[in-house]
Structure 1
Amino acid sequence: MSTAAAAPRLVTAPPVRSLVPVLARQEARRLMLHPITLIGFALYLIILLESGVLSEDGPRAAFETTTTLLTFFPGVLLILSANLVATRDRRADADELLAPLPGRAEERFKALALAALAPAGAALVPALALHASYLADDRYVVAPTVWHLLAGPVTLVGACLFGILLGLWVPARGAAVVGLVAMVVANAWLDNQSSGQLLGLATTWAAWGPTADQWAGLVPGSAAWHLGYLVSLCALAVAAAWVRVADRRTPPVVLGLVALTAAVLTGTMQWP
């Protein structure tokens, strides 16, 4: 009689939830010091310096620099850096080595999700400083509200979560690049649709006038509800990634249903 060798069972550590904050600080450090993240923030600061200090751009450029610029730099590049941080262990073939250690895949994911807040906090400081200087110099025709100013940092959180989501579900090399291109193309298409502009992740709130620098007002819609829409999408990304590694599927499924409902409601309420 022949016998087949059974595959070895992967021994995993018990949950240690107190490790999540400790791991989150480590992941935040890795994310913030990643070369791609540093390039994104360098581009952001260069554009802030050029637009806010070295030039006298019009009120439309001033509005967009303090509200939308963050989503492009460093937001777009954070998809790549967050994905690379999330897939670091798998690319190093270290899953079996890490399994018996405290901090399972679920705790490591939660730490990554918390680490996604770090770039948003870091980017908000120079954005608010530039906003204060624009107010002092009377560069605005209509000053952005707090909802406009917070939307940019929230999109950074969403970019990191999207990169982590791709890393958990599609860990193949190049998947993050494909996801990034798809996200940019979809957002550019939505931003050019008058009926779906607010459904984009990087909304151009300042309407285009006869010239690029001439102020033509704001795109109709509620910036507060749009911020709620972005937060709902972030929660939806957390749920979609969490369910991949969760021991109990109920919490992420419930979160996903609540986030999806919130996204539909806030997405509808943001229109005038």
Structure 2
Amino acid sequence: MQYSTFLLSALSAVGALAIPTGSRSNDTSVRITLAGASELATQTAFQKVQFGQREVQAPVGSSGPFQTVELSLGKGVQMQNLRCQILDEEDKPIVLLRDLNVDITFADADKGAWKFRQESVVSAIICDPTFAAIGADANDIVVMLSGPDELATQTPFLLGGAKREVQPPVASSGPYDTIELKVGALIENQDLRCQLLDARGNSIVAKRNQNIDTTFSDAGKGAWTFLDPVESEVFAIVCDPAFKAAPAA
């Protein structure tokens, strides 16, 4: 009886050792591990994203604050290049660093955890098959003006949105009738607003959807059209972190 018990125990041990080798290739788990100070850590599992669906969850157990995040993909997950994103308490993407990579989405690639640029509370985790690593324009701020007769110009701003900056439009003063601001994904001030001035130093009123304003933002919502006047030469573009939405009367 003792021999049988020993033999069964030994066989069970061999089986236990053998299982992981086969199970790793069938492992379809998608796990996000968040860690912070004082050994605070939480792990959140994702299921739907394995089938090509965007999936959003709050961190399990705690919202932090955290300092690192790691994506772990089982070997059975078909999308080994899957990327996820974490949002702060204002629902803005958290900037992350790993080795020389700086991004607002993160991957597994068997390279371990990503560090937060600064400790932060996490309100949501998003895993989406359409996410891609950021492009070369992630640190750029560009104001694009376009007008009649296919006139168009792009004016770069070089101070990263941290200070007031005034530039004339590159190449031509116009006339123009639309304006668009592009704020790169890694620019810290994603709420940056700019303003257009005419020859008299008056601000040009622009409209986007239901918003009518003397300053304009990016917000991923595309171009603004001139409203007052509907077409104008532009003599200066001002981008200032102190600007707020200023609806025209």
Which TM-score band applies after superposition, normalised by the shorter structure? under 0.3
Say which structure, 1 or 2, has more relative contact order (CA 8 Å, 6+ apart). 1
Structure with greater Cα Rg: 2
Whichever structure has more helix as a proportion of its residues is 1
The TM-score with structure 2 as length reference comes to 0.28
- Quick check: which one's strand share is greater? 2
Q: What TM-score comes out, normalization by structure 1 length?
A: 0.26
